[in-house]
Chain A
Amino acid sequence: MKWRNRVLGASLLLAAVGCVSGETQHERGEALYGYCEQCHGDAGQGNADFRTPAIAGLQDWYIEAQLQKFRIGARGDHPDDLDGLRMRPMSRTLATDGEVALVSAYVASLDPVDPPDTMVGGDPVAGRVLFNTCIECHGERAEGRRDKSAPSLLNQSDWYLVAQLHKFRSGIRGADTLDTTGIQMRPNALALENDQAVRDVVAYIETLDN
């Protein structure tokens, strides 16, 4: 009887382990996304009221890099970055690099959602000329280039792009020495002369969504 009990016990243990490991990486990423969902929405569509951008379908390497920046304080650590300061502690709920990778992969797997336009006063024709500066890294269609660590700008909230460009220009973002790619972005944002130029280039980027 003793050996039978041992076999039964071992079988139950193996079954339990099987159940735990049966959770796919996608499911684990989805479970981790539950925390993000509160602000970014169940489809990753973002929420202008919460000042959270659309993240659905962004490249996984970009999401992973940004989450790591938030975690180490390379982004979202400036006293004037009110939105970033909200994101920073949330990024730290991800306990390991593995969890960061899993949730990034899950977000990347979501279907992109084109957020509604909220910005007014941008001139896409003038923005087309200004966008020439961005093409080198973000690509001609703003699709992003991994070799330049530059994300896709497609299907992104216009208010978010405006806010980020202003943050880069004022040094709220991209001024931390740990933010090596942000530092590269900052002089390009500073090349935009004023708020109108920022709106113009974002207005042009929004036309690329279609």
Chain B
Amino acid sequence: MFELLDLKQGSSYAGDIDQLILMITIITGVWFLLTAGMFFWLLFRFRAKKDESGQYVTGDEPQLKRWVTWPHMLILLCDIAVIVMAVNVWYTVKQDLPEADATIRIIAQQWAWTFVHPGPDGELDTPDDIRTVDRLYLQEGITYHYKLSSVDVLHDFSVPIFRLKQDAVPGREITGWFKPTVQGEYGIQCAEMCGIGHGIMGARLILQSASDHEFWIQSNSPTPVAQVTGQ
């Protein structure tokens, strides 16, 4: 269904989230159709007729009450099903933290994203780290941890193809994970109102094959720069 809507799934958990949304849509959709159908049927069935006066119904009689109590219980069952599925997906995406193959740093600010990629040594926070602005380069098929922070106000790191949204909170470093599954170039956006430039705080995500990514790392590894005194 999601393929038909051209909603590409680009992470290992994007399918789980889509399934959850689909299930919620089906459940609420079925109940919407049932209640709307019942409403209009009742309007038609008990419409005003000649020589027939209206009847006051208290709703106390068991045969009338069950029109409310049975759907109520069924909806509660649906709620429980949704909660179970949602908690399962939440645990997978937000609570679980699979072992990482690589770690990146994401720094949000008004109104740009700075990405710190590990350099040829594969380690973050070393001199060969590669820093980019508004362009995130990742390798397909490996698990990444991200360390997300903000230097000014609240932001939200949103990658629609990953079905990922994570707030960036000033003063906190938030760790999360994802595993990209498809190559290509996709959008990143800020999903938290962060000032006048919020709407244009976009970035690009470039998902590469292992060989292309290795080439990119080797090509962009910084050369040592002489330190300058002062600020």
Contacts and interface: CB of A to CB of B under 8 A. Distances in A.
Interface of A: 35, 38-39, 77-79, 82, 85-86, 88-90, 92-93, 162-163, 166, 169-171, 190, 193-195, 198
Contacts of B228: 169-171, 190
Interface string B206-231: 00000000000000000001001111
Given A169-B228, A171-B225, A194-B229, A90 B197 contact: yes
Interface residues of B, number: 19
A26 to B, nearest CB: 23
A195 B114 contact: no
Contacts of A169: 228, 230
Given A89-B197, A198-B230, A79 B133 contact: yes
Contacts of B42: none
Contacts of B229: 193-195
A38 B196 contact: yes
- Which A-B residue pairs are the 8 nearest by beta carbons? A85-B112, A166-B231, A79-B131, A79-B114, A195-B230, A89-B200, A89-B111, A38-B196
Contacts, number: 53
5 contacts: A77-B133, A88-B112, A89-B112, A90-B200, A190-B228
Nearest to B197: A89
A170 B230 contact: yes
Interface of B: 107, 109-112, 114, 131-133, 151, 196-197, 200-201, 225, 228-231
A29 B90 CA distance: 49
Contacts of A38: 196
A86 B134 CA distance: 12
- Which of B109, B133, B151, B225 is packed against the most chain A CB atoms within 10 Å? B133
Contacts of B196: 35, 38-39, 90
A38 B200 CA distance: 15
Contacts of B107: 79
Contacts of B112: 85-86, 88-89
Contact of B109 (A86, A163, A171, A198): A86
